[in-house]
Chain A
Amino acid sequence: MGEHNKANIIKYTRKYMNITQAALAENICDPVTLARYESGKLEPSDEKFSLLMQKMGQSGEKYIIPLASTDESAKSLINEISDALEKGDYAKVEVLLENLKRQRTFLQEGSENFQYLKRLEAIVAYESNKIDAHEFITELKSALSLTFKDFDECSLPKHRVFTQTEILLISNIARQYGISGNKEKAIKIYESLEKYFMGDIVLNDYMPRYAVLANYSSVLGLMGYYDESIAVCIRGLKWMKKHNKCNLIYNFYYNIGWNIKKKIDCGMESETMLSVAQCYVWLGCELCKLYHEDMRNYRNMCKFYEENFAYSQ
């Protein structure tokens, strides 16, 4: 966010809320400093900005800066890569990446682009079994450290403005911890990611948020926290409904059904809910197929359906 913008946002929000400079500045900074922030003479840190906005009851517009490029062909490649990645077509991602690397403008545009490439290369290498799970986490962390050096797995700095690539990297790291058995670490990271999202008007963030929540609910479910997992799914669904998008919602519906079934299996839920569980799982499968999502997931979900519901009434 440019200084010009922060200055205006503070100033106009304060006037809109009818608060004096003195009142706003109290306990946060000097009134003179606030005046300087508002005139654009001094740029407030992300932390001060956030404190000021929160004091006014506005969480402020926080951006998760999406990956952007001024290069037209790079832009369309990025979209294609995004698509292929969501569908689990890693061979295609690899090919597209090679094309992207040839776009010189893209590479010259800054370290975030380089980080983006590194993330994808790591994913492709792992999915095609060229590196193992341990090396994968190392690669992901190394990519993250290109722009974010102080990654503390237990808490994310509340006031730092993250880029989309950074959020996705953190989410990938969490997911890998989950897959390789270190579920506690995974949960901690997801919790701090959710806290980061929570309560703020975060723009341009639908991709990271649904990806994070989908993986978060999976890890919770696998650890036996069925109700918490369902709650995360509902948060995901509500959010996607609000934004009128259906990416990955199959995941949320399936997970809800999966969790209900697991609860029934261990006696935490009545057998009468079996039909409901079945409906959710069925809906998950149908939506995955309808929106041409990851076919590997589709096959796994169908298998779960066959094994758990095919012979029920």
Chain B
Amino acid sequence: MEEITLGELIMNLRIKKNISRARLCDGICSTVALGRYESNERVPDKFLIDCILERLGENSARLEFISSEDEFSKSVYRRDIEEYLDNRQYSDVEKILEIYRSNTQKSERLHYQYIYFKEGEICFENKKYEDALDLYKKALDLTERLDVIDKGLCDKLLSDIETGLLYKAAETYKCMGETDCADYIFDELRKYLMEQEDDCKKKAEYLPLVVIHTAETEINRSNYGLAKQYLNMAEELLIKEYHLTGLEKVLELKRRLDEDNDEEELHRLLAIKILNTRNVDGTISDEGIKLWESTIKQI
């Protein structure tokens, strides 16, 4: 394959998608700086590259563009943070976040955005919703995405982290009972993500989850037909990507809306419930076996 410089990659993508420099770099760097990156006069750090590429609807770059020792160690921290978060080892996450923080200057906004995001996630998991929301807002403000919360996207582009932040902020509002705020953000996110290409990572990850929330809202408004449409959309997206997260909720809600309790639907829901009680190694837990024995086996 032909070798292409980073600058050329960014510029080609930007031009192809008809995006101005100003719109792309809004909140993260100056247009002059972006111009320098595009002409290869300067090389941005990998985190910034990822942000730019993601806003262009591409998935983040592989390690090829790491250009400093500092950037490398930060990428190792991030990898470990994500792993600990997946395993719910929150005190370990906090330890690494502290090290990350101590190695980050205040001027490195994108890195701080990441730090606040992860700190927010820990608060969220510990049900400290106000604190979580504060951190998410602080993070969003760093790249001028805070006013999306009440003013909408208005043509702004989002990186994966910015998308995640908005999603979590909406989720937090929902947990706090502020459903109007939550619904507004979910709506904006849904419209934005639907415009992205199918292979866009943030679309695959967040759109189904956003749509599930939208479906719940429609159920609360008694718009059952519309809710069903959204649930079908969410189901289709999740299954296409072979995802599991959110699938149990979709099937549960669908079952609640369906008048005739389809046996096939029940089987599917139970399969997913059993899957969700897996052991760490993926094997069916005793709980799962009991669930199966007390339901399907009786049929």
Contact = CB atoms under 8 A, between A and B. Distances in A.
Contacts of A298: none
Interface of A: 1-2, 4-5, 8-9, 11-13, 15-16, 61, 63, 68, 70, 75-76, 79, 109-110, 203, 234, 236-238, 240-242, 244-247, 249, 252-253, 256, 275-276, 278-280, 282-283, 286-287, 289-292
Contacts of A240: 282
A12 B283 CA distance: 39
Contacts of A256: 283
A308 to B, nearest CB: 14
Given A237-B281, A238-B282, A276-B284, 11 more contacts: A5-B66, A13-B72, A203-B62, A237-B283, A244-B244, A275-B289, A278-B297, A280-B284, A283-B292, A286-B270, A287-B271
What interface size band does chain B fall in? Answer: 35 or more
B154 interface: no
Nearest to B67: A8
A210 to B, nearest CB: 10
B288 interface: yes
B297 A246 contact: no
Contacts of B289: 275-276, 279
Majority SS at the chain A contact face: helix
Contacts of B282: 234, 236-238, 240-241, 249, 252
B271 A290 contact: yes
A15 B71 CA distance: 12
B283 to A, nearest CB: 6
B175 interface: no
A68 B292 CA distance: 43
Interface string B249-274: 00000000000000000011011101
Nearest to B293: A275
B281 A245 contact: no
B64 A245 contact: no
A282 B270 CA distance: 11
Best-buried of B86, B270, B292 by chain A (most CB within 10 Å): B292
16 contacts: A5-B63, A12-B66, A12-B68, A16-B69, A61-B63, A237-B282, A238-B280, A252-B282, A275-B297, A279-B288, A279-B292, A279-B293, A283-B271, A283-B275, A290-B239, A292-B239
